[in-house]
Chain A
């Protein structure tokens, strides 16, 4: 069973960098899947942040591209997300998810999410 678990600082100051880790178990991240970060502001909908392949190839949402960096650590079976120069608008629950194998894009396994609040 594939399981994902996000972790990181729950409170980040404005203008600083948000850093999160996603631990993957039950599936090796180098087994050929894309891995995705998605966020959800409190009481609002879902927003695609970007995804990354095992090789390190990544694609970011153009709306966030200038501030986002994703990486994979195959030795630890972990993903990481950095979001720079955060503002209150970046307050959200952040999810990591596996991109499924099919004809289109979809996310078949999700972490439980971690709330990050941007506040001084």
Chain B
């Protein structure tokens, strides 16, 4: 049972936008930076967003991150079939003294 909450799945048509929420508490998201990872089927996770809203080199600006209070959001615009994957949020939890991941959200392109 994760201390972070994400919707199990979201879906949208190609070209549309999806948003994925990640809800936590003051011991994790509320006082720490959030990262987002994309995991394509059968592959290792890939960093999409770090420090709440920063993109690593090579990540297109279709992916964006934001944080407000104890929640964070990943946005994906111009949805493509190649975006079908599981998306995980992650952050440090000061109470658990461990890095925690959300349960993951499966994105389906209709």
Q: Which residues of B contact A51 (CB under 8 A)?
A: 99
Q: Which residues of B contact A46 (CB under 8 A)?
A: 37, 45, 88, 90, 101, 104
Instruction: Write the residues of chain B forming the contact surface with A, with a CB cutoff of 8 angstroms.
Output: 2, 32-35, 37, 43-47, 50-52, 54, 56, 88, 90-92, 96-104
Cα(A62)–Cα(B95), bound, Å: 11
Q: Does A8 contact B (CB under 8 A)?
A: no
In the complex, 22 of the A-B residue pairs with CB atoms within 8 angstroms, ordered by the A residue number, are A45-B101, A45-B104, A46-B37, A46-B45, A46-B104, A48-B100, A48-B101, A51-B99, A62-B97, A95-B45, A100-B47, A102-B50, A102-B51, A102-B54, A103-B33, A104-B50, A104-B51, A105-B90, A106-B47, A106-B90, A107-B35, A113-B44
Per-position binary interface string of chain A over residues 25-45, scored 1 when its CB falls under 8 Å from any chain B CB and 0 otherwise: 000000000001000000001
Cα(A100)–Cα(B35), bound, Å: 11
The residue in chain B whose Cβ has the minimal distance to the Cβ of A102 is: B51
Query: Chain A nearest CB: distance from B51 CB in Å?
Result: 5
Cα(A110)–Cα(B46), bound, Å: 7
Per-position binary interface string of chain A over residues 49-73, scored 1 when its CB falls under 8 Å from any chain B CB and 0 otherwise: 0010000000101110000000000
Query: A62-B98, A103-B33 are known contacts. Are A108 and B50 too (CB-CB below 8 A)?
Result: yes
Cα(A36)–Cα(B47), bound, Å: 14
| Docked-complex contact A107 and B47, CB < 8 angstroms | yes
The residue in chain A whose Cβ has the minimal distance to the Cβ of B92 is: A105
| Docked-complex contact A112 and B44, CB < 8 angstroms | yes
| Docked-complex contact A112 and B99, CB < 8 angstroms | no
The residue in chain A whose Cβ has the minimal distance to the Cβ of B93 is: A48
| Docked-complex contact B51 and A103, CB < 8 angstroms | yes
